Amino acid sequence: TLESSWFFQRLVALIEKSYPQAVTTFITHRRLRRLLESFLEQNSFSRLIIRRASSRVRFAQAHQAEDERVIKMVSWPRLELGEAFDMVYEHNGWFQSLQFDACRDHQVLASVFFTRQGVLHTDALVSQAFAAFVEPVCKTIDENVRFFGQRCRRSRGDLSVSPLVVDFQVDQVAEPDQRHRFIKAMQRLRGASVSVLHGNPYVHLSVLDYYDGSAFDVWILSGSEITIVPQMKGSMAAIKRLIHHIFDSYAEGHIREYEGGHV
């Protein structure tokens, strides 16, 4: 690792053990790319060279969702930002962490390490890296706390639900094989029971999180959306873990409030 063992084995481990009181953040792959592009543009670097990448790649035989496997990989691509992201997309994967050089012309101005959990290391340009990564990530954490907090029924006086929607904005879950793949992806969620009440054509799952006892109903009732309904107990940490898993093991989407009730 780039950090001392104390950092990862003690400090990060301590944070992870404090779940759900303390949780690391989660940055979508789309947002990771935007942060890097913004860092490049705002500081007028000529390029960012990805030196080391920790990634996950999906392997599946054609049309056999049950055989899908996610493989951890470490590579030293030495590719520019756009090329590296194109490469990982082509291989049906995503980055977990990146070490990259910020270059202006032929000069390396800083070597930066950044993970999707929000861990940042840089050997130079500290204020620029702080502004480009730490500040927006903190803003995201604040937004997440407000958006994902108070979602469980127990926190609401009338015990009503407060669903949220993962909106793919395209027909991501319209076909039976896509829904089947989604169910299989959900069943790979570690530390949880995933029961299938209905699998096709609509999907209704009951998820019980064994980290803190949170429970969810997960529905697919439209070709482009997944609706998550936190039940009596539904911690912010568990909601984030569930969405993180959907994004990493199935597909990334935009998170928004559920709008329903009208017939």
Partner 1 sequence: MKSGKEVRDEIDDYEDTIFAMLGFVNFYRFDDQAGQQRDDVVVFQGRRLTPSPAKSTSVDGNPVESVTPDFGILSQECTGVLGEVKKSFTPDQTLWLSTFRQLMAYDDDLTGWPTADGKLRTHDVVLLTHQSRAVAVCDYHQRRTESGEVSFVRPFSIVAFNRSDERQPYFFFEKRLGNLSHNVLDGRLHQGVQVPMNRLVESYSTIKLCDSKPPLPYMASLIWEHVVAARASDDPKFPKLRRNWKVEVVLTIDEIVSELRRDFSFQVLCPDETERQPMVPRKQWCVRACEALVTGKLASWAERDSREKVRFQFKKLDNVLEHMIGLCANDAEDTGNQLELFSPQPSVTSTS
Q: List interacting residues with partner 1 (CB under 8 A).
A: 19, 153, 159-161, 163, 171, 174, 187, 191, 193-198, 201-202, 204, 206, 208, 210-213, 215, 217, 219, 221-223, 225, 227, 229, 231-233, 258, 260-263
For residues 107 and 46, the answer to whether their CB atoms sit within 8 Å is no
Q: Which CB sits closer to partner 1, 11 or 221?
A: 221
* Cβ(227)–Cβ(239) below 8 Å: no
Shortest Cβ distance from residue 184 to partner 1 (Å)?
13
Is 129 in contact with 141 (CB distance < 8 Å)?
no
Compare residues 147 and 258 and give the one whose CB is closer to partner 1.
258
CB 96 → partner 1: shortest distance, Å?
A: 24
CB of 163 to partner 1, least distance (A): 6
Cα(127)–Cα(133) distance, rounded to whole angstroms?
A: 10
Each as own residue / partner, the long-range contacts of residues 124-130 (CB below 8 Å, 24 or more positions apart, any chain) are 125/43, 128/39, 128/42, 128/43, 129/39
Is the CB of 56 or the CB of 204 nearer to partner 1? 204
Q: How far is the CB of 212 from partner 1 (least distance, A)?
A: 6
C-alpha–C-alpha distance, residues 206 and 247, integer Å: 18
Q: Which residues pair with 48 in a beta bridge?
A: 102
Select 13 or 197, whichever has its Cβ closest to partner 1. Answer: 197
